[in-house]
């Protein structure tokens, strides 16, 4: 009997029954136990501010060897670094120790409790092995969808967990339209862009060497531009987690000249 697309609901004891032509019936007792478990990714927490710490744990009840190596995926791409798993450690009571350092490379070969006398009991639970990926400090580049798998069983991925990282503005820049030289009397629009989570909620425009702001809003338009508008402009992007100025851009306003042509008129001196 072949079972395809196994799910946890297929976990059960399976027995066969053999029926002969003489109406004899024989059952395979005891049967065989089939246990189907999933691989799970736990993320704590799933939403953080930049600079905080995020811990991802890949868990499975399967017996996959003494030191299974877990593979991490981000946005469908395999991360290059893999880490050897270690057995879970349970400290009871949880609040009775100050610090714990685990070296998972050779499966819990190093355990430092500091101070030594500050814990009551240490229990090694070998049933569930897990692997931890610690992002400390987390950055905005770490945001994305994560999953994990056991090396050798890469086809079986855990469900994805999404990491959201809150941060202040980054990559703030200004674009100018139209670009190049601007003729007096025409118009120009400056647009500010910035990456932030949550999105930028305040844009402020400045002209270099001018103290007071020129305008607010993501775009700043100068209509009927004059030579006095010539200069360097920059924007400031801000949300609740920070603010960041862009580099300045130069708006070049060209003077308009009027050409007078004198034409002599017959009969006039």
Cβ partners under 8 Å of residue 211, min gap 6: none
Q: Confirm if 147 and 128 have CB atoms less than 8 A apart.
A: no
- Model confidence over 9-57: pLDDT tens digits? 888 888 888 887 777 677 777 888 887 777 889 999 999 999 999 999 9
Cα separations (Å) of 205 from 18, 83, 85, 215, 236? 85, 48, 52, 5, 6
Identify any residues that bridge with 135 across adjacent strands, giving them in sequence order.
54
Range 242-250, long-range pairs (CB < 8 A, 24+ positions): 242/167, 242/168, 242/169, 243/168, 243/169, 244/168, 244/169, 244/170, 244/172, 244/194, 245/172, 246/172, 246/173, 246/174, 246/192, 246/194, 247/173, 247/174, 248/174, 248/208, 249/174, 249/176, 249/190
Instruction: Please tell me the predicted confidence (pLDDT) of residue 97.
Output: 37
In angstroms, the CA 1 to CA 86 distance is 36
Identify any residues that bridge with 203 across adjacent strands, giving them in sequence order.
237
Instruction: Please tell me the predicted confidence (pLDDT) of residue 125.
Output: 37
> Could you tell me the two tokens for 129?
């092995």
Residue in the structure block whose two tokens are 């941060």 = 167
Among candidate residues 254, 245, 169, 256, the one with its CA nearest the CA of residue 207: 245
More confident residue, 82 or 145: 145
User: Cis before residue 198, ω within 30 degrees of 0?
Assistant: yes
- Model confidence over 83-118: pLDDT tens digits? 444 433 333 344 333 334 433 333 333 334 344 433
Structural domains of the chain sorted by starting position, each given as residue range(s) with its CATH number in brackets: 39-159 (2.60.40.10), 168-254 (2.60.40.10)
3-state secondary structure of 260: coil
- Model confidence over 170-195: pLDDT tens digits? 999 999 999 878 899 999 999 999 99
In angstroms, the CA 39 to CA 46 distance is 18
Instruction: Please tell me the predicted confidence (pLDDT) of residue 52.
Output: 94
Q: Is 203 exposed, middle or buried (0-12, 13-18, 19+ CB in 10 A)?
A: buried
Instruction: Please tell me the predicted confidence (pLDDT) of residue 267.
Output: 60
């Amino acid at each position: 009997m072949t079972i395809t697309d196994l799910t946890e609901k297929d976990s059960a004891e399976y027995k066969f029954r053999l029926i002969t032509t003489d109406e004899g019936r024989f059952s395979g007792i005891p049967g065989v136990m089939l246990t189907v478990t999933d691989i799970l990714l736990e993320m704590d927490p799933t939403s953080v501010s930049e600079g905080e710490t995020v811990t991802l744990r890949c868990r499975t009840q399967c017996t996959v060897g003494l030191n299974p190596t877990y593979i991490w995926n981000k946005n469908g791409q395999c991360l290059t670094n893999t880490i050897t798993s270690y057995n879970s450690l349970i400290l009871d009571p949880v609040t009775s120790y100050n610090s714990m350092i685990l070296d998972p490379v050779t499966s819990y070969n190093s355990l430092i409790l500091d101070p030594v006398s500050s814990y009551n009991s240490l229990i090694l639970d070998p049933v569930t092995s897990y692997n931890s990926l610690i992002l400390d400090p987390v950055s905005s580049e770490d945001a994305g969808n994560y999953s994990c798998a056991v090396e050798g069983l890469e086809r079986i991925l855990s469900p994805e967990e999404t990491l959201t990282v809150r941060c202040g503005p980054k990559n703030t820049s200004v674009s100018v339209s139209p670009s190049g030289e601007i003729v007096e009397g025409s118009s120009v629009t400056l647009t500010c862009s910035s990456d932030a989570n949550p999105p930028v909620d305040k844009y402020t425009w400045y002209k270099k060497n001018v103290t007071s702001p020129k305008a607010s809003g993501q775009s700043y338009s100068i209509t009927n531009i004059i030579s006095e508008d010539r200069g360097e402009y920059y924007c400031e992007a801000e949300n609740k987690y920070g603010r960041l100025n862009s580099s300045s851009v130069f708006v070049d306003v060209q003077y308009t000249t009027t050409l007078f042509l004198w034409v002599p008129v017959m009969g006039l001196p």
